[in-house]
Amino acid sequence: MQSSTRGDVDPFIVMDVMEAARQAEAQGRHIIHMEVGQPGTGAPRDAVAKLQAELDQPLGYTVGLGLPELRARIAQHYKDWYDVDIDAGRVVITAGASGAFILAFSALFDNDNKVGLGAPCYPSYRQILKAMGLEAVTMPTTLENRFQPVPSDVVAHNLDGLIVASPANPTGTMLDHAELAALAEACADNGTALISDEIYHGIGYDRRAVSALEVTDDVYVVNSFSKYFSMTGWRVGWMIVPEDHVRTVERLAQNMFICAPHAAQRLALHAIGAPDELEANLDVYRANRDMMIAGLTQAGFTKFAPPDGAFYIYADVSDFTDDSLSFASEVLEKAGVAVTPGLDFDPVDGGKWLRFSYARATADIAEGLKRLQTFMAERQC
């Protein structure tokens, strides 16, 4: 049977690492998971209890844009967190942030349009763009700019679109108000569509993340209940789109997805009102971050930008390898710690980097760091 070149995408390497770790666990080994960006906690307990009480009611389709009460609550969320007034009509509930990206790329771009990505970045941007017939333009970033794109990148590459992420995956770095405003201005001047990935908002340490909606309305903002709200498996996210794009996105959503899962939307509505438990989770991430910075340094991984947010450290391991895929396999085999090769995030220079996630329980992070320190000490003997 014939096949489409749209399926000719690279694997999501972290998922392959997860499978290798699962196989090791099936053989009876105890694996510490530092590979995947998945909170060790589940959805807020009070939110789950409220959903359970509703499950005796039929859960059919919702309208394509999502439950009206959830859209209204998300609009209120922007007022509460950012002091930004958002019309609930601009809120689109999606099947995870992944569904949001498919809708955004479909609404904004035509075949062969060029969309810029500051490397290193979330790998699925590149693969979704490729599968949709778009050109992903990888733009190298620098440690001096904390691995974030700069306005000159927009002009230099004559981009049709730019994706920014703050806090970023894999680095955890953030754009401040002035930096985000400068990127938005460069996009406006160049006729470049701006997409702001804000999936890690709420997970910040010394300062809160700035939403692109604080600097412009001419933007697609993508967020999700997966990270701060600890709802990875429920697959529900959202977008804020310009008012004149709502109907376009709605038509696409109706045909591509019908709607996001109804039960997940109801749980999201309850979870957004559970700040105490969610802030307690943030305290765990903060403690894990401090432990990870100290523990990785002690193990010999000393070259990284301390993360402003999210729950990752992206470390330069070029002193030890230029093949992060093999190095990660060695760490899994010998230390029992699953980590993500940098090749997932940067196909050019990622062979010299590893990403360490500290999203899991503090005891797991402590054990994983102990194993990494022993592994590196033995490796250098």
* Tens-place pLDDT, residues 39-73: 888 899 999 999 999 998 889 999 999 999 999 99
Mean pLDDT (the chain, rounded): 95
* Dihedral sign for Cα atoms in the order 177, 178, 183, 187: positive
Residue 104 lies in a domain: yes
Whether residue 124 sits in one domain with residue 99: yes
pLDDT greater than 90 at residue 11: no
Whether residue 370 sits in one domain with residue 304: yes
Whether residue 205 sits in one domain with residue 134: yes
Q: How far lies 39's CA from each of 123, 309, 310, 358, in Å?
A: 19, 14, 11, 9
Which of 253, 273, 293 delimits the end of a domain? 273
The closest alpha carbon to 115, from 97, 100, 130, belongs to 130
pLDDT category, 330, cuts 50, 70, 90?
very high
Which of 208, 239, 273 delimits the end of a domain? 273
pTM (two decimals): 0.94
Whether residue 109 sits in one domain with residue 24: no
pLDDT greater than 90 at residue 2: no
The pLDDT value given to residue 275: 87
The pLDDT value given to residue 40: 85
Task: For residue 97, give the 3-state DSSP assignment.
Answer: helix
Which of 239, 273, 307 delimits the end of a domain? 273
Domain, as residue range, for 237: 57-273
Contact 105, 136 (CB under 8 A): no
What is the rounded average pLDDT of the residues 330-341? Answer: 97
pLDDT greater than 80 at residue 381: no
The pLDDT value given to residue 204: 95
Residue 257 lies in a domain: yes
pLDDT greater than 90 at residue 143: no
The 10s digit of each residue's pLDDT in 304-325 is 988 999 999 999 999 999 999 9
* Number of domains within the chain: 2
The pLDDT value given to residue 73: 98
* Helix, strand, coil content of the chain in percent (nearest 5): 45, 15, 40
d(CA 158, CA 194): 13
